[in-house]
Amino acid sequence: MPLLRLLTQWLLKDPESSMSLIRRLLAENARRYVWQYVIAFSLMGLVAAATAGSAWIMRDIINEIFIEKRENMVYVIAAFVVTLYIVKGAATYGQNVIMARIGNNIVATNQRRLFEHVLVQGMDFIDRHALGDLSTRMSHNASAARNVIDLIVVSLGRDLLSLISLLFVVIYMDQAMASLALLVSGPAIIGVSALIRKTRKVAKAQFISITQIVSTMQETVLGARVVKAFTAENLMRKRMHKTIKDVERQSNRMGLLRARTSPLMETLGGLAVGLVILWGGYSVIERGSDPGAFFAFLTALLMAYEPAKRLARMNVQLEKGMVGVKIMYDLLDMDLTIREKEDAKPLDASKGEVRFDHVFFGYGDDQKALDDLDFVAEAGETTALVGASGTGKSTVLALLERFYDVNDGAILIDGQDIRDVTIESLRKNIALVTQDTFLFDGTVRENIRHGRPDASDEEIIQAARDANAEKFILDLAKGYDEPIGENGGRLSGGQRQRIAIARAMVRNSPILLLDEATSALDAESEAKIQAALERLMKNRTTIVIAHRLSTVRNADKIIVMDHGRCAEEGSHKELMEKGALYHRLHDLQFKV
């Protein structure tokens, strides 16, 4: 960025400007490494001094050796040059090591910040953001923060210091020629400014395309069975090829913009050197000027060209990196959709009564999922939720876990509003088994232990036994230590469901939520699991979502939901005698 524009942005404090982001980036990431940066800058100063010394010594090489022909100076100058390059090499090594360690720590820190921010968000945040987008921000944008800081520090410390040192030599040797050479700086600034504006647009488009590649790849892998079952390979192939082509096109445009700095600087640099040679040659031949000073000047000017070119290219690279930094901060600055009160207290769920007190909730402006839902799940009893699809049954469990917050009304556990208690204590008192079983990439033992990290091996084995999972676990090559693959891909659907039930069993929470937990089991396994669940549900508050009415006949209370409301409630017998909605659902399901 041109110095004038940077200064203007700094003074105006434009929150959307690159300088505003740079200030924040340095304040949040660079402040911890002040002393490491001081050492790195000192080493860069040595590199700059050694570079300037290499140009300065040209005057003595020309005058003392080639003109005066002083033999003793040959050894002195040669030793001095060797020392300069040894110092330069050692300082460059030290600077690179320090900067690499700082940069790696910055990437790790920002990745942790991004992950923590996503981890504590509510489900509505997860619903709004694609997995590929979040994954790309975790990897690409965290690295962009490191690259921008490295670029700034190295450019200021190495290139700018080297350029200043060499310009000192240039000006000291001949002020007139220095003024002549600096005439080209104006066109250089104008040319680089134009490139920066184009770079910003291309970098943003490039990031979006990279996100789409990650998303398409994840969809292809996670939905592999559906892709193959519906012969959707060609569709996914076309999507991926188009996205890759977009990234290739944007990358080519970015390469073109970066490459344009070279002909720009080469042309202007050649013009500057040509003018200097004309003036310097005339001064030495016609005016008797010092030839050593002229060669030192020319050497310093030629050596200054490289750091000047890197500084010009730095502006283009910086603008590209700032797109990633801005996207990273866009995520970090998003408000938490589920917030815990500052004075939140641990939940006391000694009884476990659950009350939905006139609850209203919608996933969007036009999506009312619950409409004045009011019911009580008595402590230690089983409450079943039945009804057609889309009546809000799964929403009840999601709200109770506080994956979302109610729009109006309240959810109470033993009289405590769940918005007034800590989220961790709330969820520790609830065990959840859903019909969409999710397992982690690890061993059987690790997946069951996710229910309660401090569970002993004996408790894990007992939970697996109660969930009717022990037999198939022991048949695995490594038993409880068998890796099950991503989302349990090496297990059958019924096996995954039983591992999930064992995970809920080992949690041993006073409140149990079951979303059609036996849906993936065959008849024989279902009977065994039903018996295990009945033991697990004893003296616990259990809320069961059931699509098959045969599984909830023995529930203490059945809530019949219709359009997000409690249409009926009572036992199976009471509701059948009433002959209303539950009776009709029963007749439809069993073809009575």
Give the DSSP letter of residue 336. P
- Same domain flag for 173 and 290: yes
Of the residues 276, 306, 332, which one is the last residue of a structural domain? Answer: 332
CB 567 within 8 A of CB 373: no
- Same domain flag for 275 and 297: yes
Q: Which residue has the tokens 């002083």?
A: 70
CATH code of the domain in which 572 resides: 3.40.50.300
- Say if 363 falls within a structural domain: yes
CA-nearest of 542, 567, 564 to 554 is 542
Look at residue 361 and tell me whether its pLDDT is greater than 80. yes
* C-beta contacts of 77-80 below 8 A and 24+ residues apart: 80/53
pLDDT-derived band at 3 (thresholds 50, 70, 90) equals very low
Look at residue 11 and tell me whether its pLDDT is greater than 50. no
CATH code of the domain in which 174 resides: 1.20.1560.10
CB 519 within 8 A of CB 486: no
Look at residue 195 and tell me whether its pLDDT is greater than 70. no
- Same domain flag for 238 and 129: yes
- Say if 441 falls within a structural domain: no
Of the residues 289, 314, 332, which one is the last residue of a structural domain? Answer: 332
- Say if 19 falls within a structural domain: yes
- Say if 495 falls within a structural domain: no
- Say if 256 falls within a structural domain: yes
Tens digit of pLDDT for each residue in 396-422? Answer: 999 999 989 999 999 999 999 999 999
The per-residue pLDDT of the chain, averaged, comes to: 78
- Same domain flag for 177 and 269: yes
CA distance 421 to 418: 5
- Same domain flag for 304 and 354: no
CA distance 188 to 269: 9
Of the residues 306, 332, 358, which one is the last residue of a structural domain? Answer: 332
**Considering its fold, how many domains does the chain have in total?**
2
- Same domain flag for 255 and 353: no
Q: Which residue has the tokens 């520090």?
A: 153
pLDDT number for residue 15: 41
- For residue 508, count CB atoms less than 10 angstroms from its CB and return exposed for 0-12, middle for 13-18, buried for 19 or more: middle
231 SS3 class: coil
- Same domain flag for 316 and 380: no
CA atoms within 13 A on the CB side of 363: 16
- Say if 440 falls within a structural domain: no
pLDDT number for residue 1: 41
CA distance 380 to 537: 8
Domain that holds residue 416: 341-429+510-521+541-592
Tens digit of pLDDT for each residue in 546-576? Answer: 777 766 788 889 999 988 899 999 988 888 8
- Same domain flag for 311 and 360: no
- Same domain flag for 150 and 275: yes
- Say if 149 falls within a structural domain: yes
- Same domain flag for 121 and 55: yes
CA distance 183 to 378: 85
CA-nearest of 184, 175, 170 to 299 is 170
Cα separations in angstroms, 408 against 336, 359, 376, 446: 19, 6, 17, 39
Tens digit of pLDDT for each residue in 507-543? Answer: 888 999 988 766 555 666 666 667 667 767 777 899 9
- Same domain flag for 286 and 152: yes
- Same domain flag for 202 and 292: yes
- Say if 246 falls within a structural domain: yes
CA distance 228 to 214: 19
